[in-house]
């Protein structure tokens, strides 16, 4: 998997900011399958600020590992704001991290719908107890959507840590 050119710099920035705060981070990933955690841990010394990653590709994994309410998945689908927020909250709750980023989306080329076309991704952030979320739509093939998702997740978390 080829990530974007900005990804290593974003990880470096997190490697500076998180230890300065004395915080650790966790990830909760669906459509990226662990790529965010992989990008973070590619950096030597990441154990100083990266606590753990959850790859919760199935709905059952979201429920069992992160505590996402199955009723929310049934009502809104796995690719939804409520699920992304619950994933981020669950990643913090089930770890020693103080911050988390979560992603759930449709990387394609299959799986899209009229309401949630390929490239639709929901992001959830939990930073020191504060939840936030946002939706993006990325163009391109599966690799491009996943790479853009990794970059956006890291950039979004960093922006919240610097705010």
Which sequence spans correspond to the domains of the chain?
7-162
pLDDT value at residue 8? 96
pLDDT value at residue 4? 83
Q: Is the pLDDT of residue 2 over 90?
A: no
Query: Residues 111, 118: contact at Cβ < 8 Å?
Result: yes
For residues 142-161, give the mean pLDDT: 98
Residue-wise pLDDT for 17-65, tens only, equals 999 999 999 999 999 999 999 999 999 999 999 999 999 999 999 999 9
Query: Look-up: residue for tokens 């689908």?
Result: 77
Q: Is the pLDDT of residue 1 over 80?
A: no
pLDDT value at residue 19? 98
- Pairing verdict, β 120-127 and 130-137: antiparallel
Structure tokens at 70: 């199955």
pLDDT value at residue 18? 98
- The mean pLDDT of the chain is 97
| Whole-model pTM over 0.95 | yes
Strand order in the sheet with 120-127: 50-55, 25-29, 99-105, 120-127, 130-137
Q: Is the pLDDT of residue 126 over 90?
A: yes
User: What CATH superfamily is the domain 7-162?
Assistant: CinA-like (3.90.950.20)
- Pairing verdict, β 99-105 and 120-127: antiparallel
Structure tokens at 26: 């966790």
Residue 112: cis peptide before it, omega within 30 degrees of 0: no
Residue-wise pLDDT for 93-106, tens only, equals 999 999 999 999 99
Q: Is the pLDDT of residue 148 over 80?
A: yes
Radius of gyration from C-alpha coordinates of the chain:
14
Query: Residues 136, 121: contact at Cβ < 8 Å?
Result: yes
For residues 82-100, give the mean pLDDT: 98
């Amino acid at each position: 998997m080829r990530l974007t050119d900005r990804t290593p710099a974003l990880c470096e920035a997190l490697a500076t900011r998180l230890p300065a705060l004395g915080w650790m981070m966790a990830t909760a990933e669906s459509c990226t399958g662990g790529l965010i955690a992989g990008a973070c841990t590619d950096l030597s010394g990441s154990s100083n600020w990266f606590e753990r990653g959850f790859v919760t590709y199935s709905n059952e994994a979201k429920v069992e590992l992160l505590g996402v309410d199955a009723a929310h998945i049934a009502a809104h689908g796995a690719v939804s704001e409520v699920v992304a927020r619950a994933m981020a909250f669950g990643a913090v709750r089930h770890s020693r991290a103080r911050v988390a980023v979560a992603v759930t989306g449709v990387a394609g080329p299959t799986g899209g719908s009229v309401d949630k076309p390929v490239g639709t991704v929901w992001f959830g952030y939990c930073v020191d107890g504060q939840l936030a979320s946002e939706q993006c739509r990325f163009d391109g093939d599966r690799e491009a959507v996943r790479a853009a998702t990794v970059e956006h997740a890291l950039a979004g978390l960093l922006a919240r840590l610097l705010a």
